[in-house]
Amino acid sequence: MTTALTEAAIAVLRANDCGDRTAPTSSAPPPAQQGRASCLVALGLAKFDEDRAWTEIESLLAGQRPDGMVPHLSVRGRRAAGLTQPPVAATAARHLFEQCGVRRARPRLRLLAPKLLAWHRWFAAARDPEGTGLAAIIDPRESGMEGSPAWDAAAAPVRVADIGVNAILLRANRDLRFLLDMIDDRAGMAEVDRMIARTRAALEACWNEADGLYHSRDLRSGQAIRRPAIGGVLPLYADPTLAVRHPALPARLERWLDQAAVAVPSFEPGRAEFEPRRPWRGAVCLAATWMLHDGLRRAGRRDLAARIRRDSMAVVARSGFREYFDPITGEGLGGTGASRTAAMVLLFAGIED
CATH number at residue 156: 1.50.10.10
Burial 295-308 (b: 16+ CB within 10 A, else e): bbbbbebeebbbbb
Q: What percent of the chain has pLDDT over 90?
A: 86
Residue 155: domain span: 2-349
Spatial CA neighbour of 286 closest among 352, 332, 243:
332
What gap in Å lies between CA 176 and CA 88, rounded to an integer? 10
Q: What are phi and psi of 56, to 5 degrees?
A: -60, -45
What gap in Å lies between CA 186 and CA 163, rounded to an integer? 29
pLDDT above 90 for 73? no
Pairing relation of β-strands 275-279 and 282-283? parallel
Q: Is 162 helix (H, G, I), strand (E, B) or coil?
A: coil
pLDDT tens-place string over residues 287-309: 999 999 999 999 999 999 999 99
pLDDT tens-place string over residues 232-253: 999 999 999 999 999 999 999 9
pLDDT above 60 for 222? yes
**Taking the alpha carbons of 26, 28, 29, 30 in that order, is the dihedral positive or negative?**
negative
Rg over alpha carbons for the chain, rounded to the nearest Å, is 19
> Do residues 42 and 99 lie in contact, with contact meaning Cβ atoms separated by under 8 Å?
no
What gap in Å lies between CA 264 and CA 249, rounded to an integer? 14
What gap in Å lies between CA 128 and CA 337, rounded to an integer? 37
pLDDT tens-place string over residues 161-185: 999 999 999 999 999 999 999 999 9
Q: Tell me the one-letter amino acid at 279.
A: P
The whole-number pLDDT of residue 36 equals 79
User: What confidence tier does 78 reach under pLDDT thresholds 50, 70, 90?
Assistant: low
Q: Sort 284 into a burial class: Cβ within 10 Å, 0-12 / 13-18 / 19+.
A: buried
Q: What percent of the chain has pLDDT over 70?
A: 95
User: What confidence tier does 1 reach under pLDDT thresholds 50, 70, 90?
Assistant: very low
How many CB atoms sit inside 10 A of residue 44's CB? Answer: 28
> What is the number of domains present in the chain?
1
What average pLDDT does the segment 178-198 reach?
97
> Do residues 58 and 101 lie in contact, with contact meaning Cβ atoms separated by under 8 Å?
no
Spatial CA neighbour of 172 closest among 204, 216, 135, 145:
135
- Residue 93 C-beta-side C-alpha neighbours within 13 Å: 34
